[in-house]
Amino acid sequence: MRSSQDYRAPFALKIAAVLGLLFMHLPILLIFVYAFTTEDKTYQWPPPGFTLKWFEVTWNRPDVWEALRLSVKVSAISTVIALVLGTLCAAAVSRSKFFGRETISLLVILPIALPGIITGIALRSAFNIADIPFSVWTIVLGHATFCVVVVYNNAVARFRRSSASLIEASMDLGANGFQTFRYVVLPNIATALLAGGMLAFALSFDEVIVTTFTAGQQTTLPIWMLEELVRPRQRPVTNVVAMVVVLVTFLPILAAYYLTRDGDHVAGDGK
C-alpha cells in the first residue's frame, strides 16, 4: 500500500505556488494602499499619511465621469452585439456539421489570437479608406469584434452539453422554431450567455490597445488612464480611479464564476 505521504505536496512546491500567487496579487493590493495616500506629487513609499480626500476629489471630476459614461455605453452596445453574433455562431457550429466549420471557429478566435495592435491599425486604415469619421460606433465596431469569442466559447460549451432531444420534443409537441428557441433553448443557455455577456463587458470595458486606434479624440476610461500613465498629472485621482476599476471588474468575474461553476466553465480559454 502507498502511504498517504505521497498525496501531500512537497514543501518546495507549496512554497513556490504560494509565492507565485502572491506575486500575482500584491501589486494589485498596493493600488488600494496608494488610493489613500496623502502624497500627491510622487509615488512615495511608505505613504506619509492616509486620507479619504481623494475620493471626494475624484467624485467631483467631470472628465472622469465623462470617460466612465462613454466606456459604459461602448461596452454595453458591444456586449449586446457580441451576444447576438456569438450565440448565432455557436448555434450554427454546435448543431450541424458543414463545410468550413473549422474556418468559422478560427474566424471567431482570430481577433484575440492576433495582437490587438494589428486589429487596431487594420480597422483604423479601413476607416481612413472608407472615409468613416470616428464616433462611438467606430469604437464599438472594434470591441464587438473581439468580444464575440467569449460569448461564443461559453455558448458552444453549453450547447454541447444540452441534449438535442429536448428540441425535438418541443417540435413534436407542436412548437415552432421560434417558440422552441424562446421556451426551450434560451432557458437552457441563459446562464452561459449571462456569463459570456459579463466577460464580454469586462473585456470591452478594459480594452485600450484597439481603442486608441478607433476612438479618435474620444476618451474612454482606459484611454483616460493611459494618458495619466504616460504623463502623470493627477496622481491621487488616478490612484482612486485605478482602485475603483479593480473593484468593478472583480464583481462580474466572481458572478460569472458562480454562474458557470457547475458546468463546463468559461475559464481556461483566455481572454
Q: Which of residues 47-66 bind another protein (CB under 8 A)?
A: none
Among 86, 196, 197, 236, binds another protein (CB under 8 A): 86
Assign 3-state DSSP to the chain and report helix, strand, coil percentages, each to 5. Answer: 75, 0, 25
Among 63, 65, 125, 161, binds another protein (CB under 8 A): 125
Single out the segment in contact with another protein by CB under 8 A; choices: 50-58, 62-70, 169-177, 186-194: 169-177
Do 197 and 260 meet the contact criterion of CB atoms below 8 Å apart?
A: no
Footprint of another protein on 186-225 (CB under 8 A) = 199, 202, 206, 208-209, 222, 225
141 sits near another protein (criterion: CB under 8 A): yes
99 sits near another protein (criterion: CB under 8 A): no
Among 126, 166, 186, 190, binds another protein (CB under 8 A): 126
Transcribe 16-66 into DSSP letters.
HHHHHHHHHHHHHHHHHHHTTBS--SS--SS-S-B-SHHHHHHHT-HHHHH
Q: How far apart are the first and last CA of the chain?
A: 44
Among 72, 88, 132, 194, binds another protein (CB under 8 A): 88
Nearest to 73 by CA among 131, 127, 140: 140
Nearer to another protein, 103 or 163 (CB): 103
250 sits near another protein (criterion: CB under 8 A): yes
116 sits near another protein (criterion: CB under 8 A): yes
Single out the segment in contact with another protein by CB under 8 A; choices: 52-60, 61-69, 187-195, 253-261: 253-261
Using CA atoms, how far apart are residues 138 and 178, in angstroms rounded to an integer? 32
236 sits near another protein (criterion: CB under 8 A): no
226 sits near another protein (criterion: CB under 8 A): yes
13 sits near another protein (criterion: CB under 8 A): yes
Within 8 A by CB and 6+ apart from 255, the residues are 195, 198
Among 237, 238, 240, 259, binds another protein (CB under 8 A): 238
CA distances from 36 to 53, 128, 240 (A): 8, 44, 8
Q: How far is the CB of 222 from another protein (least distance, A)?
A: 5
270 sits near another protein (criterion: CB under 8 A): yes
185 sits near another protein (criterion: CB under 8 A): no
Within 8 A by CB and 6+ apart from 134, the residues are 127, 214, 215, 216, 217, 218
6 sits near another protein (criterion: CB under 8 A): yes
Among 117, 164, 169, 190, binds another protein (CB under 8 A): 117
Nearest to 143 by CA among 198, 191, 214, 197: 214
Q: Determine the 3-state secondary structure of 177 from DSSP.
A: helix
Single out the segment in contact with another protein by CB under 8 A; choices: 40-48, 50-58, 69-77, 184-192: 40-48
H-helix or E-strand containing 241? helix 235-260
257 sits near another protein (criterion: CB under 8 A): yes
